[in-house]
Amino acid sequence: MTSIAAAGTFRLGDRMVNRMGYGAMQLAGSGAFGPPKDRAEAIAVLREAVAAGVNHIDTSDYYGPYVVNQIIREALHPYPRDLTIVTKVGARRGDDASWLPAQSPADLTAAVHDNLRNLGLDVLDVVNFRVMGSGMGRAEGSIAEQFSTLAKLREQGLIRHLGISNATSAQIAEGRAIGDVICVQNFYNLAHREDDAMIGELAAQGIAYVPFFPLGGFSPLQSDTLSAEAKKLAATPMQVALAWLLKRAPNILLIPGTSSRAHLRENLAAATLQLSDKVVARLNTIGG
């Protein structure tokens, strides 16, 4: 089994986590809606990930909705002591699988309690507030009311740590003025690098940066340069893309997702893939 220790660790709140983690979104049905085609395989994926050393799992109760968290509970509860489960609030799913804002204080409070119940926890390790924009875009504006609501729930002992997802630099600063922000989860990968400067700023502050859709998301990364470099390294393009992220900055934590054990093994193997500075320089020409 692949050792993910080669990717190193980073402090997430009060715990050290392996930088190679796992994103659970794909354990639901198509478009993260409804039940999986193969629930037994979904459970097996989670158990194999943890057995391989993954101790950082990203999820949300709006995956399914509720389905993914219930599968995590079935597969892993009682949880290993070193496992950190990070969830998100701020959205809900429509009956047509649409993604809808759910950002009032009442919505956020209900979402925290839903996550606690479906995960079988008394306290959530980390809760990210998901700022809702258009598609993968970010929405400007204050998050003070929403983040203050989550900070109060933290004071009540329902949440250990707070983070922000899909946020601008101004929103991160606003959140930090209200309560400690231990992680930022934004859209970032080899081809989409809007947050290049932000990553360095967060690293200097000891804040984790967790790219969502690290392999492109619903439209997987495609690049002749990426394919050529992968061929030279006897690796897959997606493994090279993950290895590039690990080399990009020490505060980057990866959460590639999959519903297949074979694909999980492929993703985890990226932890041991070493990229030379020359390879990185060529890969850097892909995006910006």
Please identify every residue annotated as catalytic. 63
- In angstroms, the CA 99 to CA 180 distance is 27
Which residue shows structure tokens 């649409």? Answer: 98
Task: Using CA atoms of 68, 108, 82, 189 in order, give the dihedral in degrees to the nearest 10.
Answer: 70
- Residues 44, 259 contacting (CB under 8 angstroms): no
The DSSP secondary-structure symbol of 80 reads: P
Strand, coil or helix: what is 58?
A: strand
Strand, coil or helix: what is 126?
A: strand
Given the DSSP bridges, would you call strands 91-93 and 99-101 parallel, antiparallel or unpaired?
Answer: antiparallel
Q: What are phi and psi of 52, to 5 degrees?
A: -80, -5
Q: For residue 65, is the peptide bond before it cis, meaning its omega torsion is within 30 degrees of 0?
A: yes
Using alpha carbons, list the distances in angstroms from residue 118 to 37, 115, 276. Answer: 20, 5, 44
3-state secondary structure 159-216: EEEEEEECCCHHHHHHHHHHCCEEEEEEECECCECCCHHHHHHHHHCCCEEEEECCCC
